[in-house]
Amino acid sequence: MPLVARPGLDRIQSYKPGQRPIGGGGPGIKLSANESALGPSPKAMAAYAEAARVMERYPDANAVGIRNVIADRYGIAAEKILMGIGSDELLSALVRAYAGAGDEVLYPTATFPMYRIYGLSTGANIVQAPDAGHSADVDALLTAVTDRTKVVIVANPNNPTGTYLPGDEMARLRAGLRDNILLIIDAAYAEYVAKPDYDVGISLVEATDNTVMTRTFSKVHGMASLRIGWCYAHSDVVSVVGRIRSPFNVSSAAQAAGIAALEDKAHEDAVVAHTAKWHSIATQRLSALGLEITGTEGNFVCVEFPDEDGKRSTDVYEFLRQRNIIVRAMAGFGLPKHVRITIGLDEEMEVCLEATNEFVKSW
C-alpha cells in the first residue's frame, strides 16, 4: 500500500508570496509584499550584528527579555505574551490547538489566504462569511457560526482591503460567539491605524479567556526576514500553544533586534508618517483616475479595476510588470478585480503611480 497523506491536505494550495522584480524596463521596484519602505531601525540592525557573537548558543527559549520589553511598551502582562516565528507560527499553532477534524474555522471572505491553509491542515472545514463593503461583517460572521465552529479569525485592519472593524464591533462579535469559540484578532498592521474608534484587541484579551491578539515585527518594524511575532492571550491559551510550538523558535538575533526596534520609537514614528503620507497621495491620485480604493488602513492600497478587456487588474499587473514594477494581484485573496500596491520609497511610489496613470490614460 502506498504512503498516503492525511485526508484533506490535497485541498491545500501553497501560499504564493509576492513576486520580486526580475527584469524588464526601468529600475526594479517591489511593491508586492507589504514590506516596510524604510526598513528596520539602525539600532535593530546593530543589535542583530552584535548577537552574531553568540551564534553558537541556543536562544532563550522563553524569550524573557523581549517579552518584558513588549509588556512595558504596551502596558500588558509579560506572562500572557508568547513569541513565535512571525505571527504565522502562532496563528497556525492556535488553529491546531483549538480546531480539528470535523470542526469549522470561520473568517471573512477577502482576507489573508493563510487562514485557509491553517484550517485545512488540521482537518477542519473552512467557512467564509460574506463581506460588506470590502470589510468584515459582524452580522454575517455570527450568522455563519454553527455548532461545529471552533475558531474565528479576523484581520484587523484587514489585509488586503485596508478596512477595519471599530472596537465596539469587535466587542459585539466576541459577545455573540460561544465561550468555546476562540476569537483570533490578527493585528499585523495595527501600528498604522490612527482611527479613534480602533481597538487593537488588548482590552478584549484582558476581559475574556477566549480571545487572542497576534502581532508581528515584519511590517512597521521592517524585520520580515527575521521571522518574529508575538501573541497576547489568556495564560491558559499561552500554556497550550507553548507546548506545541517549536522549541527555541525565535533566534537570539531576532530577539535582540526586536528589543532594539521597540525601543527606537522615533524610527517607528518615521515609518508610520512616511506610510500615511504616501497612502494619502496614492489614494488621491488613483481616485482621481476613477479607481476605487477599498480601505484606509495599512501600509498598502488595494485598488479595483474595471472588468473589461484591456482594463482588468490582470492587465495593469502585466503593464507594470513589463516596467519591472511588481505589485500584487488579488485573485488569491478573493478579489479578482483588484491589485494591492505596497507603500514604497518616495521615488518608487512616483514611478508606480505615474505608470498606473499612463495605463489608465491609454484606455
Please tell me the distance from the alpha carbon of residue 247 to that of residue 62, in angstroms, as a whole number. Answer: 9
CATH architecture of the domain with residue range 16-39+266-361? Alpha-Beta Complex (3.90)
CATH 3.90.1150.10 residue window(s) in the chain: 16-39+266-361
Contacts of 196 (CB under 8 A, 6+ apart): none
pLDDT value of position 12: 72
Residue entry with cell 500615511: 276
Q: Say which residue the cell 480602533 belongs to.
A: 198
What is the bridge-based pairing of β-strands 229-233 and 81-84? Answer: antiparallel
In angstroms, rounded to a whole number, what is the distance separating the alpha carbons of residues 196 and 316? Answer: 35
Question: Chain centroid to CA 43: how far?
Answer: 24
> Of 146, 88, 143, 81, whose CA–CA distance to 121 is shortest?
88
CATH 3.40.640.10 in the chain is located at 42-263
Q: Which residue has the cell 542583530?
A: 48
Q: What is the pLDDT of residue 13?
A: 76
Task: Specify whether the CB–CB gap between 220 and 192 falls below 8 A.
Answer: yes
Closest to 173 in 3D by CA, of 111, 94, 88, 107: 107
Q: Which residues of the chain have pLDDT under 50?
A: none
pLDDT of amino acid 195:
96
**Strand-pair category, 81-84 with 182-186:** unpaired
State the architecture of 42-263 in CATH terms.
3-Layer(aba) Sandwich (3.40)
Region of 232 please: left (phi>0), alpha (psi -120 to 50) or beta: beta
Name 231's Cβ contacts closer than 8 Å, sequence gap at least 6: 81, 82, 84, 87, 90, 94, 212, 213, 214, 215, 238, 241
CB 252 within 8 A of CB 59: yes
Q: Provide the pLDDT for residue 335.
A: 96
pLDDT value at position 18? 67
Q: How far is CA 78 from CA 83, 105, 225, 329, in A?
A: 11, 28, 25, 39
